[in-house]
Amino acid sequence: MLRLTGATAIVVDETTETTGELLLEGARVAAAGSDAADATTLDVTGHVLTPGLVNAHHHLLQSAFRTLPGTRGVPMADWLPTMASAYARVGIDPELASIAAGIGVAEGLLSGVTTVADHHLNWGSATTAESVEIARATTDAARALGGRVAFVRGAARDDPQAAASSAQAIVDALLPGTHGGVSADGMLQLAVGPAGVHSDPRETFELLGEVAARHGLHRRTQANEQVDVAIALERYGKRPLELLEEWGWLADDVTIAHLCEVTDDEIARLAAAGVTATHAPGCDVPMGWGIAPVARLAAAGVAVGLGTSGGGSNDAGHLLADARLALQVSGLVGEQLPARRVLAMASAGSAAGLGRVELGHLRPGAAADLCVWDVSGVADAGVADPVAGLLWAAPGRRPRHVIVAGEFVVRDYELVNAEERELVARLSERLARTPV
């Protein structure tokens, strides 16, 4: 058992906070009244404890392709081929997937992200067997670092039948004989998700949906960025959410990222269907797509999580930094969001979109995933509310310690299971090497 004592604040969930002590028993938050006589004690005086953050929308492969020339301040029609050219030059294979995932997951852990949903969209010319190895390499890299990963077998202009065959093969290889898409230890989750109606036809949505139904997987996609709306109207004469409803993708097992341009009627339809949403301001704002109306979505009853999206659009996987941005821009689309609401979006809200009720809070029985944030330095001097200060003060803040499933994965700001410099060196060497 591990007892953390002396905390300035312990954020149990959005509406519950306490001070003093938190007790972990193995991979879970201990139940009230647990015997802690033999617990190891860690003094966290001057620190705030929060649930581990859940990055609901990332593209880990893009961690190897950040700030590329021609990817900033350009239309999506120019951005896509620029990124595709970079992928082709380096070559998408299991090695690259492993290295990029290691970078992205490590970056997340160092900034408090204990679970990341990786919407993997780019497969190069991979066969079904090779796609399984790309998925395995990605998820093994996360596991080696001690992070949880929800791997989404995505599609972006893939052959529909090939995408479905790949998704089925990935389930058979990574979670054989299971239903629900989550490993017994909770460290691996599988899901499916086309990039969106702007890139994938009805058949892809339907076939991947069949795989999801067969295995109890969650479904994820992207919709209602400006470009998505424009292409859907031009190609189908309908808006994206109307198409998703027709194609069976407005349901309570579906999470939709972005949603920058939605009407009140569309919000009502999302809420009625039980769809969850992911806000990604660190991608949407610099790409010029707009700002999701989070307050309106939440008021209608839509659970909203938070994601960074990938390095090709955001350049960072620092979810708390994007939470701060979400605070700053929320007033531009209506209501100023409170800090605790956004912190909850980055934890419980994101977990809700994954169907993971054990993540994103610190109530008894929850997964023992948490962050220990030092609030005793000059960046927090004068801060009246240390929980709100986690977001408003100290841009780029990193947690001192991070624990996943009861185990330290970051200790005193350093990775426990890897050396940062080695991860960086591996990526630098891989990018410099011409594929055979």
Distance CA 154, CA 164 (A): 10
Output the pLDDT for position 436: 54
Q: Check: pTM over 0.85? Answer yes or no.
A: yes
Give CA–CA dist 310/419, Å, rounded: 23
Q: What is the 3-state secondary structure (H, E, C) of the chain?
A: CEEEEEEEEEEEECCEEEEEEEEEECCEECCCCCCCCCCEEEECCCEEEEECEEEEEECHHHHHCCCCCCCCCCCHHHHHHHHHHHHHHHCCCHHHHHHHHHHHHHHHHHCCEEEEEEEECCCCCCCHHHHHHHHHHHHHHHHHHCCEEEEEEEECCCCHHHHHHHHHHHHHHHCCCCCCCECCCCCEEEEEEECCCCCCCHHHHHHHHHHHHHHCCEEEEEECCHHHHHHHHHHHCCCHHHHHHHCCCCCCCEEEEECCCCCHHHHHHHHHHCCEEEECHHHHHHHCCCCCCHHHHHHCCCCEEECCCCCCCCCCCCHHHHHHHHHHHHHHHCCCCCHHHHHHHHHHHHHHHHCCCCCCCCCCCCECCEEEEECCCHHHCCCCCHHHHHHHCCCCCCCCEEEECCEEEEECCEECCCCHHHHHHHHHHHHHCCCC
Domains 2-51+362-420 and 53-354 share a fold: no
Task: Kindly give the confidence (pLDDT) of every residue in the chain, 436 residues in length, as a single tens digit, with 9 standing for 90 and above.
Answer: 999 999 999 999 999 999 989 999 999 999 877 877 788 999 999 999 999 999 999 999 999 999 999 998 888 889 999 999 999 999 999 999 999 999 999 999 999 999 999 999 999 999 999 999 999 999 999 999 999 999 999 999 999 999 999 999 999 999 999 999 999 999 999 999 999 999 999 999 999 999 999 999 999 999 998 888 999 999 999 999 999 999 999 999 999 999 999 999 999 999 999 999 999 999 999 998 999 999 999 999 999 999 999 999 999 999 999 999 999 999 999 889 999 999 999 999 999 999 999 999 999 999 999 999 999 999 999 999 999 999 999 999 999 999 999 999 999 999 999 999 999 999 999 999 866 5
**The CATH homologous superfamily of the domain defined by 53-354:** Metal-dependent hydrolases (3.20.20.140)
Where in the chain are the domains?
2-51+362-420, 53-354
* Closest of 122, 417, 86, 75 to residue 227, by C-alpha: 75
User: CA 236, CA 334: separation in Å to the nearest integer?
Assistant: 31
Q: Can you name the CATH fold of 2-51+362-420?
A: Urease, subunit C; domain 1 (2.30.40)
pLDDT of the residue at 72: 87
What pLDDT is stored for residue 334 in this prediction?
84
Give residue 36's pLDDT.
78
